Structure 1
């Protein structure tokens, strides 16, 4: 059976109940989509945890080289990496007990979805978290 994203209502519930969002591939460059989206989500009250091995701080938050280095619970792993890297990210997300694997707009990986689902995670692919937050009312 082909993968289907959760219904909008479920996506809204996921966002409304998210305590923290680890952003894999969050750029420290303010003109990059990952930075703009994460900054917007942070301004809406979401706890953003940057994951980028090449930076120390992004958006005023400590940056971690990998998901395994994060020492607090993570609800959503939001991925800004190319599709071929997503299976590895899904394995790392499962290892830290994340609840949701979210692949940003333009990113799709059946293998990552399978890994995440087999580990009890909800999967959302090819959707922008900022757009979904605006549509569903996420934190409002």
Structure 2
């Protein structure tokens, strides 16, 4: 498993409150939209990262992680698995503390690179599902 319960808990409670949500747009039909809202309701500041740089849930959007002008604690990834490794590498480059690959986003090589760089990481999990499990 890529992300044991202790790592999930650590990311959700200790990694920090600024979460870049990569793939988040104003499309309410996409999973990222609802998950970002759940994160906000649980005290996280969400930062939409999408090529269109749309503002979502009252937060300014940016086209890439490197365009965000402040520190990001956690990078939550809602892109196809083929693209996820590059996002994880960018998360390492910007100094994020953790990377979270959403349900269905799987790249074992990216997981290994990210962990080797010292970041916490979970893969194929959803924080909106995991938060209620914290109790």
- The alignment's TM-score, normalised by the length of structure 2, stands at 0.92
From 2, 5, 14, give the equivalent of 2:2: 5
CA distance in 2, matches of 1:121, 1:133: 20
Cα distance in 2 for residues equivalent to 1:7 and 1:91 = 21
Question: Where do 5+ consecutive residues of structure 2 fail to align?
Answer: none
Matches of 1:82 and 1:19 in 2, distance apart? 24
Q: Does 1:52 align with 2:27?
A: no
Contact map agreement 1:9 1:136 (CA 8 A) in 2 = no
Which one is further off, 20-29 or 8-17? Answer: 8-17
Q: Which residue of 1 aligns with 2:73?
A: 75
Aligned equivalents of 2:4 and 2:100: distance in 1? Answer: 14
State the alpha-carbon separation in 2 of the partners of residues 120 and 76 from structure 1. 13
Question: Gaps (5+ residues) in structure 1?
Answer: none
Alignment partners' CA distance in 2, 1:118 and 1:44:
29
1:87 is matched with which residue? Answer: 85
Q: Does 1:134 align with 2:132?
A: yes
Name segments (4+ residues, structure 1) moved above 6 Å.
none
TM-score of the superposed pair, with normalisation by structure 1 = 0.89
CA RMSD of the aligned region, Å? 1.3
Deviations 1:14-59 (A, max 9, x none): 2112221100001211121110111111112111011011133111
Matched, 1:14 2:11: yes
Q: Number of matched residues? A: 134
